[in-house]
Amino acid sequence: ETIQIIVLGVVAFGVGTASGLIIAKLMNKISKKAINPLIGAAGVSAVPMASRVVQSVGQKENPSNFLLMHAMGPNVSGVIGSAVAAGVMLSLFGG
Protein backbone atom coordinates (compact mmCIF):
# COMPACT_ATOMS: atom_id res chain seq x y z
CA GLU A 1 0.00 0.00 0.00
CA THR A 2 2.87 2.38 0.81
CA ILE A 3 4.52 1.70 -2.54
CA GLN A 4 1.24 2.45 -4.32
CA ILE A 5 1.00 5.80 -2.56
CA ILE A 6 4.59 6.67 -3.49
CA VAL A 7 4.02 5.67 -7.13
CA LEU A 8 0.80 7.72 -7.23
CA GLY A 9 2.71 10.74 -5.87
CA VAL A 10 5.46 10.38 -8.47
CA VAL A 11 2.89 10.07 -11.26
CA ALA A 12 1.00 13.12 -9.98
CA PHE A 13 4.23 15.13 -9.79
CA GLY A 14 5.16 14.11 -13.34
CA VAL A 15 1.73 14.92 -14.75
CA GLY A 16 1.69 18.29 -12.97
CA THR A 17 5.12 19.22 -14.29
CA ALA A 18 4.33 18.11 -17.84
CA SER A 19 1.00 19.96 -17.77
CA GLY A 20 2.73 23.15 -16.67
CA LEU A 21 5.24 22.87 -19.50
CA ILE A 22 2.52 22.24 -22.07
CA ILE A 23 0.38 25.16 -20.85
CA ALA A 24 3.41 27.49 -20.91
CA LYS A 25 4.20 26.44 -24.48
CA LEU A 26 0.55 27.00 -25.42
CA MET A 27 0.67 30.45 -23.83
CA ASN A 28 3.76 31.20 -25.94
CA LYS A 29 1.76 30.42 -29.08
CA ILE A 30 -1.15 32.64 -28.01
CA SER A 31 0.62 35.50 -26.24
CA LYS A 32 2.83 38.15 -27.79
CA LYS A 33 5.32 38.11 -24.92
CA ALA A 34 7.52 35.03 -24.54
CA ILE A 35 7.19 32.96 -21.38
CA ASN A 36 9.91 30.56 -20.25
CA PRO A 37 8.27 27.08 -20.23
CA LEU A 38 10.33 26.16 -17.18
CA ILE A 39 8.17 28.53 -15.14
CA GLY A 40 5.19 26.30 -15.98
CA ALA A 41 7.04 23.34 -14.50
CA ALA A 42 7.17 25.14 -11.14
CA GLY A 43 3.37 25.12 -10.82
CA VAL A 44 3.36 21.92 -8.78
CA SER A 45 3.05 22.43 -5.05
CA ALA A 46 6.43 20.99 -4.09
CA VAL A 47 7.79 24.12 -2.41
CA PRO A 48 10.67 24.98 -2.77
CA MET A 49 12.04 21.93 -4.59
CA ALA A 50 10.24 22.53 -7.90
CA SER A 51 11.56 26.09 -8.01
CA ARG A 52 15.09 24.90 -7.27
CA VAL A 53 14.88 22.35 -10.08
CA VAL A 54 13.69 25.07 -12.49
CA GLN A 55 16.58 27.28 -11.36
CA SER A 56 19.21 24.58 -11.86
CA VAL A 57 17.85 23.48 -15.27
CA GLY A 58 17.66 27.11 -16.42
CA GLN A 59 21.23 27.81 -15.34
CA LYS A 60 22.52 24.73 -17.13
CA GLU A 61 21.02 26.08 -20.35
CA ASN A 62 22.15 29.67 -19.79
CA PRO A 63 24.44 30.47 -16.83
CA SER A 64 23.07 34.02 -16.60
CA ASN A 65 19.50 32.77 -15.96
CA PHE A 66 18.08 33.53 -12.55
CA LEU A 67 14.63 31.97 -12.42
CA LEU A 68 14.26 31.12 -8.74
CA MET A 69 12.08 34.04 -7.69
CA HIS A 70 10.07 33.89 -10.94
CA ALA A 71 9.45 30.19 -10.30
CA MET A 72 8.28 30.76 -6.72
CA GLY A 73 5.13 32.58 -7.90
CA PRO A 74 3.60 29.60 -9.72
CA ASN A 75 5.02 27.35 -7.02
CA VAL A 76 3.04 29.12 -4.28
CA SER A 77 0.01 29.27 -6.58
CA GLY A 78 0.24 25.49 -6.85
CA VAL A 79 0.13 25.24 -3.06
CA ILE A 80 -2.94 27.48 -2.89
CA GLY A 81 -4.63 25.48 -5.66
CA SER A 82 -3.88 22.23 -3.83
CA ALA A 83 -5.37 23.62 -0.61
CA VAL A 84 -8.53 24.72 -2.43
CA ALA A 85 -8.84 21.35 -4.17
CA ALA A 86 -8.35 19.55 -0.84
CA GLY A 87 -11.06 21.70 0.75
CA VAL A 88 -13.48 20.93 -2.06
CA MET A 89 -12.73 17.23 -1.85
CA LEU A 90 -13.16 17.23 1.94
CA SER A 91 -16.50 19.01 1.63
CA LEU A 92 -17.71 16.57 -1.02
CA PHE A 93 -16.34 13.30 0.34
CA GLY A 94 -15.67 14.08 4.02
CA GLY A 95 -17.57 12.55 6.87
Could you read off the pLDDT of 8-65 as tens digits, one per residue? 989 988 888 888 889 888 989 998 888 888 888 887 777 888 888 889 999 999 999 8
Single-letter amino acid code for the residue at 60: K
Residue 91, C-beta contacts closer than 8 angstroms, at least 6 positions apart = none
- The pTM of the full predicted model, rounded to 2 decimals, is 0.68
Strands (E), the chain: none
pLDDT of 90: 93
Distance between CA 44 and CA 79 in Å, rounded?
7
